[in-house]
Amino acid sequence: MSNALKALIELPEAEQKAKGVESTPQEIYQQPEMWRQTLEIMKNKKDEIIKFLGDEKDRQIILSGAGTSEFIGLSLVDLFNKASGYDTKSIATTSIITDPESAFQAGRKYFLVHFARSGNSPESVGTFTLGEESKADIKHIVITCNKDGKLAQMGKKVDSLMILLPEKTNDRSLAMTSSFSSMVVAGQCLATIKNLDATATIIEKVAQAGEVLMDKYSDDMNAVCQEDFGRAVFLGSNTLKGCATECHLKLQEETSGKVVAKFDSFLGLRHGPEAVIDEKTLVVYLLSEETFVRKYETDLMAGVKGKGIGMKKIAVCKKADDELQGLCDLVFEHGIEGIPDDYLPPAYVTVGQELGVFKSLSYGLKPDSPSEAGVISRVVKGVKIYDRPLYQSQKEFKVIAG
């Protein structure tokens, strides 16, 4: 069986360099192994994590990050609220920076979970600093792919929980791929740390599902990307909406904005966003495996088909019945039993990642660095983070990061 993703990985080094695929395809394809390695790290740190968390159920968990790292939190918050025993919110560092008092309320107690690939972005550093300056009681949990990053170094100076992921997850390319999915896996383990054996079984199944999707459907994704679509919409319910959010960004940034992508929930699409679906729109359905939720999703899919909108529709799921097959043009089935919806994002995000790579190449761009004008970069630049307490007391702008 041919595999368009592996074909890129197996190109001669000079051709990889010329096409700009020295890193991204490999970083996508290695993910299942990175999830297994991340799981082992979490197993080895289980006792340390449980001790750090203690028994303070009055602490709220805040999942934080910017861009893709924010979408990690969106892909985890439902699982944390169901399984961790802590009230949990996902708040972007970009929001914390501009209104820290809303996130860190005086006298309240928090576990602040920092997700960061490099740990060098101004928002990551600034959020940590503002947390320390706040009047709240904050314990930091740093989950990062870069042991040498500023965030990791800051975490070592206070009483924090440090979770360093495998070195290979610190993606060299512009787009976060291994870093995103592996931090999601680490978060899944953190949310279920007292029941980690059961989670480990599920994560192995997630790894198998990811392998199936990449090995079986890469050619189909490559073929789709040769078609002339200029828009894309990714849909997911509940936790899978977080995954859809990350998928939309991967396709948009890998094509340097030539494809304008959107995301929403299945039910949310009807409330206005459906207007963007025209005859040149790719629609990707990330389907729930819960029968009750799936009914809402197939109702929406039937509505889209009935309106005759969208260029091509792709469904991603465990197994499609005849009804589902009739509502879309392509179905990517992984066939792995026993994966709850809350654990599916690492496997399903690979679809958005691959579509991003193949569509980037179709435009003659270089997936490792698709932004020819340098509009976007691997680590965000040009952002200055200011000392809020100093401004409030003296009306002075002092840069603390950036």
How far apart, in Å, are the Cα atoms of 327 and each of 281, 315, 323? 16, 9, 7
Looking at the fold, whether 76 and 174 belong to one and the same domain comes out as: yes
Looking at the fold, whether 86 and 137 belong to one and the same domain comes out as: yes
| Tokens linked to 100 | 């820290």
Q: Is residue 236 part of a domain?
A: yes
pLDDT score, position 397: 76
pLDDT score, position 389: 77
| Tokens linked to 149 | 């990053």
The CATH number that applies at residue 54 is 3.40.50.10490
pTM summary value: 0.94
Q: How far apart are CA 390 and CA 65, in angstroms?
A: 24
Looking at the fold, whether 182 and 283 belong to one and the same domain comes out as: no
Looking at the fold, whether 289 and 185 belong to one and the same domain comes out as: no
pLDDT score, position 373: 64
Q: How far apart are CA 2 and CA 117, in angstroms?
A: 32
pLDDT score, position 392: 75
Closest alpha carbon to 356 in 215, 211, 225: 225
Q: Is residue 24 part of a domain?
A: no
Q: How many domains does the chain have?
A: 2
Looking at the fold, whether 150 and 224 belong to one and the same domain comes out as: no
Looking at the fold, whether 314 and 176 belong to one and the same domain comes out as: no
List the domain range (segments joined by +) for residue 80.
45-191
Question: Strand 399-401 to strand 385-386: parallel, antiparallel, or no bridges (unpaired)?
Answer: antiparallel
Find out whether 259 and 230 touch, Cβ atoms under 8 Å: yes
Chain CA centroid to CA 356, Å: 14
DSSP-derived secondary structure for 278-334: -TTEEEEEE--SSHHHHHHHHHHHHHHHHHT--SEEEEEES---HHHHHT-SEEEE-
Q: Is the dihedral of CA 293, 295, 296, 297 positive or negative?
A: positive
Looking at the fold, whether 185 and 227 belong to one and the same domain comes out as: no
Per-residue pLDDT of the chain in tens (402 residues, 90 and over written 9): 689 999 999 999 999 999 999 999 999 999 999 999 999 999 999 999 999 999 888 999 999 999 999 999 999 999 999 999 999 999 999 999 999 999 999 999 999 999 999 988 889 999 999 999 999 999 999 999 999 999 999 999 898 999 999 999 999 998 999 999 999 999 999 999 999 999 999 999 999 999 999 999 999 999 999 999 999 999 999 999 999 999 999 999 999 999 999 999 999 999 999 999 999 999 999 999 999 999 999 999 999 999 999 999 999 999 999 999 999 999 999 999 999 999 999 999 999 999 999 999 999 999 999 876 655 555 556 677 777 776 677 777 777 676
Looking at the fold, whether 56 and 125 belong to one and the same domain comes out as: yes
pLDDT score, position 388: 75
pLDDT score, position 65: 96
Q: Which residues face 138 on adjacent strands?
A: 110
Q: Is residue 380 part of a domain?
A: no
pLDDT score, position 57: 87
Q: Is residue 158 part of a domain?
A: yes
Q: Is residue 186 part of a domain?
A: yes
Residues 6+ apart with CB under 8 A from 154: 125, 128, 129, 142
Q: Is residue 13 part of a domain?
A: no
Q: Where are the alpha helices (DSSP H) in 104-237?
A: 122-133, 150-156, 178-191, 196-224
Looking at the fold, whether 63 and 147 belong to one and the same domain comes out as: yes
pLDDT score, position 384: 78
